[in-house]
Amino acid sequence: MNQQEETYYHCIAPKDSDYKIWAFDDYSHLFSRNNELILAKPVYCSINAPINFDFSFYRKKALRGEEYINLIYKTVPGQETRMNSDNEIKALITSACPGIDRVNCYYRNPFSSSFISFNKGDVVDTSSPRKALSMMKKASPQLDSIISLVEDTLNVSESQIGVTGSLALGAEEVHDYDIVFYGNIVELNQIQKRISAQITQNGPVFETGLKWPCRYYDRNGNIICCFFNIEDSFNLDPAFVTDSFPQNQRITFQVRVADDSFSIAKVPILLLEENEQFNVLVIFSRAFRGVFKSGDTISGVGNISADGKTILCFDPANSITDWIKYFNR
């Protein structure tokens, strides 16, 4: 799989609708086939959507001068929590986007908890993290200084950096700074070691009750949330799972990690010990990047690939046993 400079599908909506769904997740280059995009859940939805939906409990954010709500976070009196209702998200999208094909705009087994698909024809805007960085630095002197500090702290050049998340969409305020690093796997693991050193020096970032291995505080207290675009080519292409594995073939597994080099990928890939029945464990959640290490024993439930050698874990928060302990060790 050669990840190179991917395209981010930023805004997805029916062409004949004023409703917008900003989807800046980067799974799209892995799960793109024919005229279909299989994406992670959209994050921001237009608050001006002409539908009967109560937006009052959702975190709001201004993107390019228009107000959006965040479908991930929901505020209730006295607390903020991640919203886990797939049915609620699905109902919002399908009711707000009458022009989207009902068959394609649907959670598909086995992607049911993490992915939704759209027609490529519904994409109305694309960009890349590097281009977004260039535009946002011109618009924000504050971001320019934050990026300069990232470069100095992690010993990287600007050519190795991009931005993603709401920052790349022109958000006026952000909770953290989503930075994408480019390089081969050796370079990126070196960057990750420097991130770990910052965590040791400045203390870990605790959010939603978890200690995040790919987030750190800079010396000014800003949260830097790190993503890695691996520019190597290697012999595993997760795109094959959309067509070539038995969807109902579920297994219970317990495996030991031999090589965690690719655990920092946006779809973490763990190479397993040679004496294992399976060769690879693929975790389809970028939240788990950098969490599992060589020597870890992981158990849970997953699908298997058509050749029987790869375990595919689409919903790790519900299918990997005791995953929280790996975050918080």
- Per the CB < 8 A criterion, the answer to whether 72 and 83 are in contact is yes
Across the range 291-307, mean pLDDT stands at: 91
Q: Which of 68, 65, 55 is nearest to 22 (CA)?
A: 68
Q: Are 147 and 161 in contact (CB under 8 A)?
A: yes
The answer to whether domain 129-230 and domain 246-327 are alike in fold is no
215: its two tokens: 């987030």
In three-state secondary structure terms, 35 is coil
Between 103-107, 110-114, 285-289, the lowest mean confidence (pLDDT) is in 103-107
Measured at the CA of 121, the angle between CA 118 and CA 126, to 5 degrees, comes to 90
Asked if 310 contacts 278 with a C-beta cutoff of 8 angstroms, the reply is: yes
Q: What pLDDT is attached to residue 22? A: 65
Q: 129-230 maps to which CATH number?
A: 3.30.460
Distance of alpha carbon 328 from alpha carbon 299, whole angstroms = 17
pLDDT at 139: 77
Whole-Å CA distances, 283 to 50, 264, 271, 300, 310? 37, 11, 12, 12, 11
Q: Where are the domains of the chain?
A: 8-126, 129-230, 246-327
CA distances (Å), 230 to each of 81, 290, 292, in order? 32, 13, 18
pLDDT band at residue 15 under the 50/70/90 scheme: low
| CATH class of the region 246-327 | mainly beta
Amino acid at 83: M
Q: How confident is the model at residue 14 (pLDDT cuts 50, 70, 90)?
A: low
Q: Summarize pLDDT for 254-298 with one digit per residue, the tens.
A: 999 999 999 998 878 899 998 778 898 988 788 899 999 999 999
pLDDT at 240 over 50: no
Of residues 230 and 160, the one with the higher pLDDT is: 160
- pLDDT over 50 at 82, yes or no: yes
Radius of gyration of the chain (CA): 19
- State the average pLDDT over residues 130-142: 84
- The Cα 260–Cα 294 span in angstroms is 5
pLDDT tens track for 152-197:
999 999 999 998 877 887 777 788 999 999 999 999 999 999 999 9
Instruction: Compute the average pLDDT of residues 290-319.
Output: 88
What are the start-end ranges of the E strands in 64-150? Answer: 66-76, 79-82, 115-119, 123-127
pLDDT band at 116 (very low <50, low <70, confident <90, very high): low
How many percent of the chain have pLDDT more than 70? 62
Better pLDDT: 136 or 247: 136
For the chain, the farthest-separated pair of C-alpha atoms sits apart, in whole angstroms, at: 57
Q: Residue 309 has what pLDDT? A: 83
Residue range 35-57: average pLDDT? 66
**In the structure, what pLDDT confidence band is assigned to residue 3 with cuts at 50, 70 and 90?**
very low
In this prediction, residue 238 carries a pLDDT of 47
Contact present, 144 and 137 (Cβ < 8 Å)? yes
